[in-house]
Amino acid sequence: MNQTFEEWDELNNDFKQLEIDNKTYIQHLDQLTNLQKKCQSHLTHQRYRLDIIQRTLKELEKTKDKEKHKEDEEKIKELESNILKRKAQLHEVEQTLPKPNGIYLKIILGNVNVSILNKEEKFKYKDEYEKFKLILSIIGIVMAVLNYSVRFRPLELSYIFLLVWYYCTLTIRESILKVNGSRIKGWWRLHHFLSTVAAGILLIWPDNEAWAMFRNQFMIFNMYISLVQYLQFRYQRGALYRLKALGERHNMDITIEGFHSWMWRGLSFLLPFLFFGYIFQLYNAYSLYKLSVTTETTWHVSRPNSYFNLFQVYSVVMKFVSSILSFNRY
């Protein structure tokens, strides 16, 4: 019995220390919040003053009296170089401070702070995003094979619902990555928004004759796309790791579908697979169009047809343009 009371007394002493540590922790949190506000204020002020200086320099360049400013030309060039360096420094400072959520995250999550201030935690979150895509690609292959082999409506709906959830989750995760410094392109995120809508339409497509004629082709397409995504993930991850080590890619860059300029370094063997995927998308659009004009169908046929056409043109054009614009770097 005495031992029990002694343990209670010892526990009380531990709790007192916990209260002291917690009080210190809360004080530091308050200090951190105040420091963050100060840094954000300084950051805004720095950028405001830099804009004024840059506008002044532009006005000097427009002035006709070039001889008057000729002796200051070297100083102006040095100042412009320093301004660029300062902007880069301010960007680095900004990455350590909380950022406001975008419109999409505000709608989904409200004003919850999703900024990750620790670099290690940022990379960890990015890696979790990559693993999420890899795992879902494998699950997608398995479920597509099962649906191709067995005609069972609940299994079909489960798979299509998985696609809706997958693309919806991707849009949220990518928006969080964007807030935390990832250079995800806007067109890439828009592609996933459109994919979510297309998957949603497929989910409510009734089990009619048109669906029966299209489902096997759709399952084969998803098997192929999931397999290509898996291959891309495995090889892109290695290529990105090498380029990041050489300082040629950003640490928060992600693996993405499609072909991009930096992939010319050792990944060109993926090109035939990717272009066949684009052709497959066109074939899906053609098949849906054919169904819409040859059979009695609901609007669920014409809408995916439009989306497949849109995905094809949008994906090819944007990925081609982005590759060409930065190809000269390689």
Q: What is the pLDDT of residue 20?
A: 95
Q: What is the pLDDT of residue 66?
A: 55
Confidence of residue 237 (pLDDT cuts 50, 70, 90): low
Asked if 166 and 192 count as a contact pair (C-beta separation under 8 A), the reply is: no
Within this chain, do residues 298 and 262 fall inside the same structural domain, yes or no? yes
pLDDT over 50 at 14, yes or no: yes
Measured distance CA(113)–CA(75) in Å, rounded: 43
pLDDT, tens digit, 9 for 90 and up, residues 153-207: 999 999 999 999 999 999 999 999 988 888 787 877 888 888 888 888 888 888 8
Question: If 0-12 CB within 10 Å is exposed, 13-18 middle and 19+ buried, where does residue 120 land?
Answer: exposed
Q: Please name the residue that has the structure tokens 């809706």.
A: 164
- Among 67-81, 255-269, 289-303, the range of highest mean pLDDT: 67-81
Q: Please name the residue that has the structure tokens 């684009």.
A: 278
Q: What is the pLDDT of residue 246?
A: 53
pLDDT, tens digit, 9 for 90 and up, residues 87-130: 999 988 888 888 888 889 999 888 888 988 887 888 888 888 88
Two structure tokens written together for 209: 């004759």
Measured distance CA(87)–CA(46) in Å, rounded: 9
pLDDT over 80 at 68, yes or no: no
Q: How many helices (H) and strands (E) are present in the chain, helices listed first?
A: 9, 0
- Tell me the average pLDDT of the chain: 79
Strands (E), 18-162: none
Largest CA distance in the chain: 97
Q: What is the pLDDT of residue 310?
A: 58
Measured distance CA(323)–CA(258) in Å, rounded: 10
Asked if 212 and 126 count as a contact pair (C-beta separation under 8 A), the reply is: no
Two structure tokens written together for 307: 């989306």
pLDDT, tens digit, 9 for 90 and up, residues 178-189: 888 887 878 778
Measured distance CA(200)–CA(161) in Å, rounded: 8
Measured distance CA(38)–CA(59) in Å, rounded: 32
Q: What is the pLDDT of residue 328?
A: 38
Within this chain, do residues 8 and 136 fall inside the same structural domain, yes or no? no
> Is the residue at 268 inside a domain?
yes
Within this chain, do residues 136 and 37 fall inside the same structural domain, yes or no? no
Within this chain, do residues 299 and 181 fall inside the same structural domain, yes or no? yes
Number of domains in the chain: 2
Confidence of residue 152 (pLDDT cuts 50, 70, 90): very high
Domain boundary among 38, 68, 97: 97
Measured distance CA(170)–CA(164) in Å, rounded: 10
Residue 287 vs residues 54, 77, 145, 170, 273: alpha-carbon distances, Å = 56, 60, 21, 28, 21
SS3 250: coil
Amino acid at 86: R
Range of the domain at 301: 108-327
Domain boundary among 36, 71, 97: 97
Please state the rounded mean pLDDT for residues 41-47. Answer: 94
Within this chain, do residues 118 and 248 fall inside the same structural domain, yes or no? yes
> Is the residue at 103 inside a domain?
no
Torsion, Cα of 56, 58, 61, 63 (10° steps): -60
Asked if 164 and 196 count as a contact pair (C-beta separation under 8 A), the reply is: yes
Within this chain, do residues 62 and 188 fall inside the same structural domain, yes or no? no
Measured distance CA(237)–CA(149) in Å, rounded: 32
Measured distance CA(260)–CA(238) in Å, rounded: 15
Within this chain, do residues 36 and 170 fall inside the same structural domain, yes or no? no
Q: What is the pLDDT of residue 330?
A: 35
Q: Please name the residue that has the structure tokens 């993930």.
A: 233
- Does the global pTM surpass 0.85? no
Domain boundary among 41, 74, 97: 97
